Structure 1
Amino acid sequence: MASQAQIRNFLAHWFQLGKPVVLAENRGQCLPEPIYQNGDYSKSFEDCWHRIMVTGGQDCYLEGTSQSIAAMLSPAWEVTPCARCDMPLAIPIAGPMNYPCPCSDLMSWPNTDMPMPRTAVDNRQHLSDLRQRLTEGNEWSTSESTESYPNG
């Protein structure tokens, strides 16, 4: 069963390639910009998710697919990487796969010359990790330079 977190991640990846969600009841499409902000989903993404969940995901689907968000959230579906492009793909747990990957209508995808869509990056955590590694590296070089070597 695909969790809400997996479906949100699925959508975020496809949004990065310009694929919108078609909303139920002729409410148009939703393609948030930006998708991420400050290491998490943006307000625009959260607003889009809310618009999807107004109908519980019924009759809302990623453009280029036919399964609804509601169906993907049911126990009959899971999210796995596409064999062709490695992007998240919703597939039925049992039965034949009659649904193409959303990449099937993207003529320039997969494109290994471009960065792959990704999840959010927490800049503060990333900078903290860099600072920690630099501090550890500095301690190593300081201890090495203070050691005395015998003259030979």
Structure 2
Amino acid sequence: MASPDEVRRYLAYWFQLGKKLVIDNQEFLLPRPVLWGDRYSPEFETCWQRAIAHDGQNAHLEGTNQTIAELLGSSWTISPCARCEMPVPMLDLGSREPTCPCADLTFWPDTECPQPREPINTYDQLSQIRDRLLKVSEQSKSSDQSRAS
């Protein structure tokens, strides 16, 4: 079963590549921007609320057949595509959907450009870098002291 967070992530990644959310087979939504600093943008959040309105029965990602409701059900998981490593829905049991939404993107996968991603908390990332540098510095001081002894 795909969690709501996994489905949100799935949509966010594909929105970054230009795939749209289709509602009632007549309305196409593509939030811009998708990311806003360390979180999803208000445009993305509005789109997500539209996607889950009416339990997601009337919404799906462009180029796919699974509704948001189906993805949130017990039969589907979100896994990396074997071709491009983007998140794709797969049946948890039984046969798999043979195509990834990347199938009709002639420019994808493109290893030369940045990959779609989730929001990043820069404070946390910088703290982790600082901690790693402090650890290396402490190890270096300790080995210098043991050599001097």
Q: TM-score, normalised by structure 2?
A: 0.85
User: SS at 1:55's partner residue?
Assistant: helix
Amino acid at match of 2:94: G
Aligned residues: 149
User: SS at 1:66's partner residue?
Assistant: coil
User: SS at 2:96's partner residue?
Assistant: coil
Higher Cα Rg: structure 1 or 2?
1
Deviation at 1:95, TM superposition (A): 2.9
Contact 1:24-1:55 at 8 Å conserved across structures: no
Partner of 1:67: 66
CA distance in 2 between counterparts of 1:99 and 1:140 reads 50
Contact 2:91-2:97 at 8 Å conserved across structures: no
Mind listing any 5+ residue stretches in structure 1 that lack a counterpart?
A: none
Bigger CA drift: 113-122 or 99-108?
A: 113-122
Q: Deviations over 1:54-88 (max 9, x none)?
A: 22111211111111111111111111111111111
Q: TM-score, normalised by structure 1?
A: 0.83
User: SS at 1:70's partner residue?
Assistant: helix
Identity %: 41
Mind listing any 5+ residue stretches in structure 2 that lack a counterpart?
A: none
Partner of 1:9: 9
CA distance in 1 between counterparts of 2:38 and 2:12 reads 13
Cα distance change on mapping 1:25 and 1:80 into 2, 3 Å: closer
Partner of 1:127: 126
Amino acid at match of 1:92: L
Contact 1:66-1:99 at 8 Å conserved across structures: no
Contact 1:65-1:99 at 8 Å conserved across structures: no
CA distance in 1 between counterparts of 2:48 and 2:18 reads 16
User: SS at 1:131's partner residue?
Assistant: helix
Partner of 1:18: 18
User: SS at 2:54's partner residue?
Assistant: coil
CA distance in 1 between counterparts of 2:38 and 2:117 reads 12
CA distance in 1 between counterparts of 2:9 and 2:96 reads 21
